[in-house]
């Protein structure tokens, strides 16, 4: 049988990885898929560079629409990124009856509902394994491997740049700005790292996972997003003393009355496997009611790891494109007519425990006033660490770990504590998850 014909839109890092993997492992992939998979056409504005990357037999064009218009192309792989032209091209490819594979988490987290509906109406598939956690087959695990389960929560290190920065801050005791500069020099962070360090990229991925886990539409606009730019080396040290590590987690959790969807720096017990995921690696923990805790670990970015996910989708489509569309795996794991309207909860209603660091005057009665505020709001304390003040110092660090509470209540407590004259600096407040 003639190999299935693939057209690439964009041949940057992931595109060239996809070409290389498909070429190098073509025999192995054909033995699995029962049919060859071949990149027949590539669209890239830099046609000279594109030509230098692919073999003689591949047609290179500057115009992406020429790929979509080519009737010989079965699957279009969108690797342009962003919400703009990528969205138009994905919708046009679907309209032209092409199956689509994309690594574009931003596009799907924001416009997924429109795109999946267009694909359903046209009877084509949209594969997006590469959009979350690079080469780790987490979309497949959630969508197919854990179908027996009522998923309770997901917590993932799903941005390699920030995990690299946090690992370096901890192991070398450096501050954020210094490590960010190093990460940029090493190529782990982009020249404009905003999407990574502000948590936006992780929130795109958490949004996709929340939809698949709970059977709700993608709702990126409802996600609570905090990055790591304000994180201080002192808090990483104190967390470590208390048996915790700080990781930027994307969390989606089923909660009474709704779903939590949030990205923020999080204290995690140091003994958990996920706390020991270092450098640019990714890992996702999934808690299901039947299976219990499972974890998936691997490279979350990079040319060939991401290509591994793109090609897995190509093989899935090659195997399944002749199947009755109603019996394929639904894009968001649940049948389109079975999505729920469970709300995404505002951050004030999120349940979590907290790490607080207060700079307080070193005098009698300070701890009592603070603990009274917490007690009055029903927030119970798990541990207190008071640094002994140095000779002649008039202030000291007071660290408090709380038990679980509602975020809104903690905000009240923070406002009251901040107003105390003996609290001498802005209180640092970080969320803590036991992941047990």
- CB 292 to a second copy: min, Å: 5
Site for a second copy in 258-277 (CB under 8 A): 273, 276-277
16 among annotated binding-site residues: yes
Taking CB under 8 A as the rule, does residue 327 contact a second copy? yes
* Cβ within 8 Å of residue 100, ≥6 positions away: 75, 76, 77, 78, 90, 93, 94, 119, 124, 125, 126, 127
How far apart (Å, rounded) are the C-alpha atoms in residues 307 and 327? 26
Regarding 243 and contact with a second copy (CB under 8 A), the answer is no
Maximum separation of any 2 CA atoms in the chain, in Å: 83
Size of the site for a second copy (CB under 8 A): 66
Q: How far is the CB of 295 from a second copy (least distance, A)?
A: 4
* CA atoms of 169 and 89, how far apart (whole Å): 40
- Contact call for residues 304 and 21 (beta carbons, < 8 A): yes
Beta bridge partners of 356: 400, 429
429 labeled part of a ligand binding site: no
Among 316, 397, 407, 433, binds a second copy (CB under 8 A): 316
Least Å distance, CB 398 to a second copy, is 33
Give least dist CB 299 to a second copy, A.
Answer: 5
* Nearer Cβ to a second copy (277/350): 277
434 binds a second copy (CB under 8 A): no
**Residue with smaller CB distance to a second copy, 240 or 404:** 240
Q: Enter the tokens of residue 90.
A: 């994905």
Closest separation in Å from C-beta 274 to a second copy: 9
CB closer to a second copy, 185 vs 327: 327
The least CB distance from residue 239 to a second copy, in Å, is 19
Comparing CB distances to a second copy, the nearer of 22 and 410 is 22
- Does the annotation list 105 as a binding residue? yes
Sequence-distant (6+) residues with CB within 8 A of 10 are: 43, 44, 64, 78, 79, 80, 81
Among 66, 329, 367, 385, binds a second copy (CB under 8 A): 329
Whether residue 347 is annotated as binding a ligand: the answer is no
| From 205, 222, 247, 432, active-site residue | 205
Is 134 within any annotated ligand binding site? no
Q: Least distance from C-beta 301 to a second copy, angstroms?
A: 11
Q: Is 145 in the site for a second copy (CB under 8 A)?
A: yes
- Interaction with a second copy in 4-23: which residues (CB under 8 A)? 17, 21-22
Sheet strand arrangement including 99-102: 59-61, 37-43, 4-9, 75-78, 99-102, 126-127
Question: Using the rule CB under 8 A, which residue among 72, 270, 323, 375 binds a second copy?
Answer: 323
Alpha-carbon distance values, 433 to 167, 168, 247, 270 (Å)? 18, 22, 10, 11
Pairing assessment for the beta strands 37-43 and 59-61 based on DSSP bridges = parallel
- Residue 74 backbone dihedrals phi, psi, to 5 degrees: -90, -40
CB nearer to a second copy: give 34 or 346. 34
> Which residue, 150 or 237, has its beta carbon nearer to a second copy?
150
Q: Does 90 bind a second copy (CB under 8 A)?
A: no
The answer to whether 382 and 269 have CB atoms below 8 angstroms apart is no
Distances (CA, A) of 424 to 239, 286, 358, 396, 419: 21, 40, 8, 9, 9
Which one among 144, 348, 363, 376 touches a second copy, defined by CB under 8 A? 144
Asked about 51 being catalytic, the answer comes back as no
Find the part of the chain contacting a second copy (CB under 8 A) among 58-66, 252-260, 308-316, 345-353.
308-316
418 binds a second copy (CB under 8 A): no
13 is in an annotated binding site: yes
Q: Looking at the chain, how many residues does it have?
A: 436
Question: Of 225, 221, 249, which is closest to residue 343 (Cα–Cα)?
Answer: 221
CA distance 162 to 280: 8
**Contact criterion met (CB below 8 Å) for 252 and 214:** yes
Near a second copy in 333-362, by CB under 8 A: 333-335, 338
* Binding status of residue 30 toward a second copy by CB under 8 A: yes
Structure tokens at 37: 């998979």
User: Where are any strands of DSSP class E within 201-312?
Assistant: 224-225, 244-255, 258-269, 281-288, 292-299
| Beta carbon of residue 184, minimum distance to a second copy (angstroms, whole number) | 23
Location of structure tokens 């008039």: 394
Residue 160 within binding range of a second copy, rule CB under 8 A: no
- Summarize as ranges the residues that interact with a second copy (CB under 8 A): 17, 21-22, 24-25, 28-34, 129, 135-137, 140-141, 144-150, 215, 273, 276-277, 288-299, 304-305, 307-312, 315-316, 319-324, 326-330, 333-335, 338
**Binding region for NADP(+):** 9-16
**Binding region:** 9-16, 105, 190
The residues assigned a catalytic role are: 205
């Amino acid at each position: 049988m003639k190999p299935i014909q693939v057209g690439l839109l964009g041949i940057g890092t992931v595109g060239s990885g996809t070409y290389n993997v498909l070429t190098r492992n073509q025999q192995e992939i054909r033995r699995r898929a029962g049919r060859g998979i071949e990149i027949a056409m590539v669209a890239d504005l830099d046609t000279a560079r594109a030509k230098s990357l692919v073999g003689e037999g591949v047609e290179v064009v500057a115009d992406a629409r020429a790929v979509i218009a080519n009737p010989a192309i079965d699957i279009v792989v969108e690797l342009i990124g962003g919400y703009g032209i990528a969205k138009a091209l994905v919708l046009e490819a679907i309209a032209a009856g092409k199956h689509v594979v994309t690594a574009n988490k931003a596009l799907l987290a924001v416009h997924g509902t429109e795109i999946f509906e267009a694909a359903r109406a046209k009877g084509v598939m949209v594969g997006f394994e590469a959009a979350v956690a690079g080469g780790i087959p987490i979309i497949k695990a959630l969508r197919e491997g854990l179908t027996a389960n009522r998923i309770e929560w997901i917590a993932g290190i799903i941005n390699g740049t920030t995990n690299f920065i946090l690992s370096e801050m901890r192991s070398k005791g450096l501050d954020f700005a210094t490590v960010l500069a190093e990460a940029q020099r090493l190529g782990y962070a982009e020249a404009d790292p905003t999407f990574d360090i502000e948590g936006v990229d992780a929130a795109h991925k958490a949004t996709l996972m929340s939809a698949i886990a709970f059977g709700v539409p993608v709702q990126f606009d409802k996600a609570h997003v905090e990055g790591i730019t304000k994180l201080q080396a002192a808090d990483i040290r104190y967390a470590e003393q208390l048996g915790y590590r700080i990781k930027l987690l994307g969390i989606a959790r089923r909660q009474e009355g709704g779903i939590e969807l949030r990205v923020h720096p999080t204290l995690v017990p140091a003994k958990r496997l996920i706390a020991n995921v270092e450098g640019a690696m990714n890992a996702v923990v999934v808690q299901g009611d039947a299976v219990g805790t499972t974890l998936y670990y691997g490279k979350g970015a990079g040319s060939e790891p991401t290509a591994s996910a793109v090609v897995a989708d190509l093989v899935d489509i090659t195997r399944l494109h002749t199947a009755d569309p109603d019996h394929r795996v639904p894009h968001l794991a649940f049948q389109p007519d079975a999505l729920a309207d469970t709300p995404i909860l505002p951050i004030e209603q999120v349940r979590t425990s907290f790490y607080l660091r207060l700079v307080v005057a070193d005098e009698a009665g300070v701890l009592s006033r603070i603990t009274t505020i917490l007690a009055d709001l029903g927030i119970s304390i798990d541990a207190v660490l008071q640094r002994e003040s140095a000779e002649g110092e008039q202030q000291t660090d007071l660290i408090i770990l709380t038990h679980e509470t509602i975020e809104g209540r903690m905000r009240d407590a923070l406002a009251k504590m901040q107003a105390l004259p003996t609290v001498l600096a802005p209180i640092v407040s970080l969320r803590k998850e036991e992941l047990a």
